[in-house]
């Protein structure tokens, strides 16, 4: 009898642990964090979340992952038009993440202690609140440093809710538990951006920060295409496509491709993608947003 009771208690505990792990944002506000050109390696199992040929899947993959408690993260393969979910995230397994061209990695984040009205006022319809670059940081330009920050999510929350200045980026040192916040980011101060393997620091770019007063134009390059198609719209011209990129509310649109009355919008640009060659697309027009203070 005691054996049966002990076994039942053991089963209940296992179920509770799994449920608690899956339901990881009780009482908080859930969003996503994007890491460009990244996915989990083969050591982490996946299951297909969605696959639809020639479609922009970012919004649908995010919504599907939100609806599934066991989906803690997913990778989006833009060339294969599929997203694959993971029942784990990168906490404690950052080394399992690997460089994967044509893929972006999206991980659920949970902001505790943030009023929903404040979050909605700051982030609106943003599909992801932060963009992450592993082993990277801004060298200098630290406006505020906070010690004893226990998680990357807490560092993001501090940046998101900072009231004394607009926190455009932060970096989190997971070994020293330090969160450094900045008014600048890798686009406003590109010469200060560093990628140092083994630094244990993650660059975190706030996608909800109010836009700085800048002058923007598009660098036009014919015959090329974006890599990460985050939205697909109809457009009558390249100029119309630019207008749609400028007015996109669900993510910071940084580049577009226009061809055959179709407008492909992307949240990535040459800065987030790094030194890779954009795919050729005869007859298309590629435009990348360039802004200066």
pLDDT of residue 114: 96
Q: What pLDDT does residue 19 have? A: 38
Residue 5: count of CB within 10 angstroms of its CB = 9
Task: Give the model's pLDDT for residue 122.
Answer: 97
Helix (H) or strand (E) holding 291: strand 280-292
Q: Are strands 82-86 and 73-77 parallel, antiparallel or unpaired?
A: antiparallel
Residue 129, pLDDT score: 99
Q: Using an 8 Å Cβ cutoff, are 224 and 286 in contact?
A: yes
pLDDT at position 211, please?
A: 79
With beta carbons less than 8 A apart as the criterion, state whether 211 and 270 touch.
no
* pLDDT value of position 212: 73
Contact 286, 221 (CB under 8 A): yes
pLDDT along the chain (293 residues), means of 10: 44 38 76 98 96 98 97 98 98 94 98 96 98 98 98 98 98 98 97 96 97 86 98 98 98 98 98 94 98 82
Please, which residues have CB within 8 angstroms of residue 284's CB and are 6 or more apart in sequence?
A: 222, 223, 224, 225, 257, 258, 259
- The per-residue pLDDT for 71 is 98
């Amino acid at each position: 009898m005691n054996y049966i009771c002990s076994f039942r208690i053991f089963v209940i505990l296992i179920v509770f642990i799994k449920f608690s792990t899956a339901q990881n944002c009780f009482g908080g506000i859930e969003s996503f964090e994007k890491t460009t050109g990244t996915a989990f390696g083969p050591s982490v199992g996946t299951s297909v979340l969605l696959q639809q040929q020639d479609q922009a899947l970012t919004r649908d993959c995010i919504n599907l992952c939100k609806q599934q408690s066991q989906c803690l993260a997913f990778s989006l393969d833009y060339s294969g038009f599929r997203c694959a979910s993971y029942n784990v995230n990168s906490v404690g397994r950052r080394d399992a993440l690997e460089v994967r061209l044509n893929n972006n990695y999206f991980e659920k984040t949970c902001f505790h202690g943030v009023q929903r009205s404040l979050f909605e006022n700051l982030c609106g319809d943003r599909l992801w609140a932060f963009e992450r670059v592993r082993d990277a940081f801004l060298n200098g330009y630290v406006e505020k440093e906070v010690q004893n920050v226990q998680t990357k999510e807490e560092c993001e929350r501090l940046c998101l809710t900072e009231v004394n200045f607009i926190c455009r980026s932060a970096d989190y040192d997971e070994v020293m538990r330090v969160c450094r916040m900045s008014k600048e980011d890798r686009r406003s101060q590109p010469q200060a951006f560093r990628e140092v393997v083994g630094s244990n620091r993650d660059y975190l770019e706030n996608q909800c920060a109010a836009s700085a007063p800048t002058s923007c134009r598009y660098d036009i390059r014919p015959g090329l295409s974006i890599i990460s198609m985050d939205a697909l719209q109809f457009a009558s011209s390249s100029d119309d496509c630019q207008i749609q990129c400028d007015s996109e509310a669900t993510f910071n649109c940084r580049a577009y491709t226009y061809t055959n009355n179709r407008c492909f919008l992307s949240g990535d640009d040459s800065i987030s993608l790094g030194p890779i060659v954009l795919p050729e697309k005869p007859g298309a027009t590629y435009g990348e947003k360039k802004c200066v203070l």
